[in-house]
Structure 1
Amino acid sequence: MKKFLAAAFFATTALTSAHAADLGRPVYKAAPMVEPYMTWNGFYIGANAGYSWGRDRVAGTRSDIDGFSGGGQIGYNWQWSPNWVFGVEADLQGANIESSFAGINTNVHMWGTVRGRLGYAWNNVLLYGTGGFAYGRNELTLGALSQTRTHTGYTFGGGMEYAFAPNWSAKIEYLYVDLGRETYDAFATTARSDFHTVRAGINYRFGGAPIVASY
């Protein structure tokens, strides 16, 4: 009987000691999961190409214009929350947007914009609206007579940009461009061009942006 009681005492003591040792061990909990998001902050440069169509107005006569353009852009984005992105962008394109009527040819050889952008981002997808200043070089030709003028006006539109790699993103964009009216003294008339443009582009982002991080 004494041997049984002694064995029971030692067993109870061992279990109590083991339990006390377990209580003294630190308990580690897994960190809560935080949804990652991608920041659009920083400088970028890129290239674009697209198709334009619209109207010319020369000496009170309207004519359809169309053609292609291609060039480059540079910009900067600020992201002040996981979703809202503000940016500025400037672009410049060589172009061949032309028309011909009543023996007069018109051709927008070059155009560009300086715009603000305001967008809403879902991680690596950015939808945005844009608008600002537009300019272009237009040429009127009639036989051997030609004259070129710089036009200024405005632009607005929108687009979608998709980041497919740590530093690379692609976009598709629509712009309405109104280059305003200018006087062509050699023809004793005025001309105005406005057109729609749909274009695709690609951007390279500096400084390792965009970055996937916790917010």
Structure 2
Amino acid sequence: MALAGLMLAATSGAYAADLPRKAPMVQPVAPIQMYNWTGFYAGVNLGGGWTNTSSGSINSDLSGVIGGGQIGYNWQTGPILLGIEGDFQGSSQRSSGSATIGGLTYNGESKIPWFATVRGRLGYVTGPWLIYATGGAAWINYQLDITAPGGSVSDHTTKSGWTVGGGVEWMFMPNWSAKLEYLYLDTDTTTATLFGANFDARAKQNIVRAGLNYHF
């Protein structure tokens, strides 16, 4: 009996050793999200602008709300991004002032109804973030009106110039990004002459704006 019991125990142990064992559960690895900035994009922006100008002895620093749209193309190679962007902005920037010259009181009003830029972009990509510098050509519709008793003069022309700046952009969804940007714009001089008094103005504009882009 004892021998039979030992043989039965040995047989049971060997059978148990042959039973399949359940493999340990492996936790799935979350996929790494890839951010691809290459391609066309378009969007809208809103911000503010302030411009330091002078018209003869009339101080005419402008400030107001700006808003518009942009369209561009990015090309990414590794962490480096090259791109081109164009934008068109409407502007409420305006100011007025007065000065007395040679016994006459002159009143001046300055406005910037719109401006546009075409810029290159050079940036560094780290995950969903893009840090970039930008610069290129600018066109500003600067309007200067001078009045005095018995006459008035105006210069309403679009001036060409240049712009430089930088910003940061965040791709918060696969096709959507938000940006914060600063631009400095400088243009040619605007000149108006009334009753022998010369009024020269040159718009040196600062722009801060936030934008939203859709990437195609």
TM-score range relative to shorter protein: 0.7 to 0.9
Aligned partner of residue 91 in structure 2, secondary structure: strand
CA distance in 2, matches of 1:138, 1:185: 16
CA distance in 2, matches of 1:148, 1:188: 16
Match for residue 183 of structure 2 among 175, 187, 194: 175
Q: Does 1:153 align with 2:161?
A: yes
Corresponding residue for residue 92 of structure 1? 88
Runs of 5+ unmatched residues, structure 1: 1-17, 19-32, 207-215
CA distance in 1, matches of 2:48, 2:82: 26
Distance 1:185 1:135, change over 3 A: farther
1:51-80: per-residue Cα shift (whole Å, max 9, x none)? Answer: 111311323654322111111101000001
1:105-131: per-residue Cα shift (whole Å, max 9, x none)? Answer: 000111111101111111111010111
Contact 1:128–1:159, Cα closer than 8 Å, also in 2:
yes
CA distance in 2, matches of 1:174, 1:65: 17
Corresponding residue for residue 50 of structure 2? 53
TM-score (norm 1): 0.75
Q: Once the 2 structures are TM-superposed, how far is the Cα of residue 146 of structure 1 from its aligned partner?
A: 3.4
Q: How many residues align structurally?
A: 197
Corresponding residue for residue 118 of structure 2? 114
CA distance in 1, matches of 2:199, 2:60: 15
Q: Does 1:199 align with 2:196?
A: no
Distance 1:66 1:134, change over 3 A: same
Aligned partner of residue 108 in structure 1, secondary structure: strand
| Aligned-partner residue type, residue 203 of structure 1 | N
Contact 1:95–1:110, Cα closer than 8 Å, also in 2:
yes
Distance 1:142 1:185, change over 3 A: closer
CA distance in 2, matches of 1:189, 1:181: 10
CA distance in 1, matches of 2:192, 2:158: 11
Aligned partner of residue 37 in structure 2, secondary structure: coil
Match for residue 104 of structure 1 among 83, 103, 108: 108
Contact 2:153–2:192, Cα closer than 8 Å, also in 1:
no
Corresponding residue for residue 11 of structure 2? none
Contact 1:51–1:69, Cα closer than 8 Å, also in 2:
yes
Q: Once the 2 structures are TM-superposed, how far is the Cα of residue 145 of structure 1 from its aligned partner?
A: 4.6
Aligned partner of residue 37 in structure 1, secondary structure: coil
CA distance in 2, matches of 1:142, 1:54: 18
RMSD, aligned CA: 3.3
CA distance in 2, matches of 1:104, 1:194: 18
Corresponding residue for residue 142 of structure 1? 146
Q: What percent identity do the matched residue pairs reach?
A: 43
TM-score (norm 2): 0.75
Q: Once the 2 structures are TM-superposed, how far is the Cα of residue 180 of structure 1 from its aligned partner?
A: 2.4
Q: Does 1:73 align with 2:74?
A: no
